[in-house]
Amino acid sequence: MGRPAKPTALLRLQGTLRPGRHVDRAREPKPAGGAPDAPEWLLPEARAEWDRVVAGYAELGILTPLDRGTLATYSQMWARFAAAERADPYVPMPASYIATMANVANRLGLDPAGRTRLRSPEAAPDPDSPWDRLKAVPRAN
C-alpha cells in the first residue's frame, strides 16, 4: 500500500503542486480561512502560546478553524513543558511529551524544518501586469 495522498492545499503550501499530475482534485474539501478560536480549557501558559502562534500566522492565512485541535495539542504540551522546566529543570520530562510537542510543532511550521514546507497563499495576479496577460494566452500545440 502506498502513501496516502496529500491534500491539495498542503501541496500548494509546500510548493509541490503539479497541475499536470494533480488534476483530479476539484472535489477536495476546502476549509474556510480565519484563525481558530482557542478552547476555554487551555492552561494560562498554553493560551499565551496559542495567542503567540495565531498572531504570527494571522497575516499569512495558514491557520484555519480545522487546525484547532492540532494547535491546542501543541499549546498544552508547551505549557506542560514550561511547567516542568520551572518546577525542577534537573528532573527529566517524559520523552513522549517532548516528542509529541516537537512533532506537532513541526506540522504547524513552528520549527525551521517545518517552515521550509509552508508557503503563504498566493496573491491574486495583477490584471494590469503584461507578464500575467502573456501567461494567460493559450499556447498552440
The verdict on residue 6 lying in a domain is no
| Integer angstrom CA distances of residue 21 from 17, 18, 86 | 8, 5, 50
Total domain count for the chain? 1
The verdict on residue 57 lying in a domain is yes
For 87, what's the count of Cα atoms within 13 Å in the CB-facing half-sphere? 9
Q: Report residue 105's pLDDT band, with 50, 70 and 90 as the boundaries.
A: confident
End-to-end CA distance of the chain: give it in Å, rounded: 37
Q: How far, in Å, CA of 53 to CA of 42, rounded? A: 14
The verdict on residue 20 lying in a domain is no
Quick one: CA dihedral 19, 21, 25, 26, positive or negative? positive
The verdict on residue 139 lying in a domain is no
Report which of residues 136 and 103 the model is more confident about.
103
The verdict on residue 133 lying in a domain is no
Give the domain range for residue 100.
Answer: 31-118
The verdict on residue 51 lying in a domain is yes
Q: How far, in Å, CA of 86 to CA of 83, rounded? A: 5
The verdict on residue 55 lying in a domain is yes
User: Residue written as cell 513541526?
Assistant: 106
Closest C-alpha among 12, 44, 42 to residue 118 = 12
Q: pLDDT by residue (tens digit) across 40-69?
A: 999 999 999 999 999 888 767 677 788 888
Mean pLDDT taken over the chain: 77
Which residues 6+ apart lie within 8 Å of 80 measured at CB?
A: 43, 93, 97
Report which of residues 34 and 118 the model is more confident about.
34
The verdict on residue 56 lying in a domain is yes
Check: pTM over 0.75? Answer yes or no: no
Q: pLDDT by residue (tens digit) across 64-101?
A: 788 888 899 999 999 988 888 888 878 887 788 788 88
Q: How far, in Å, CA of 109 to CA of 100, rounded? A: 14
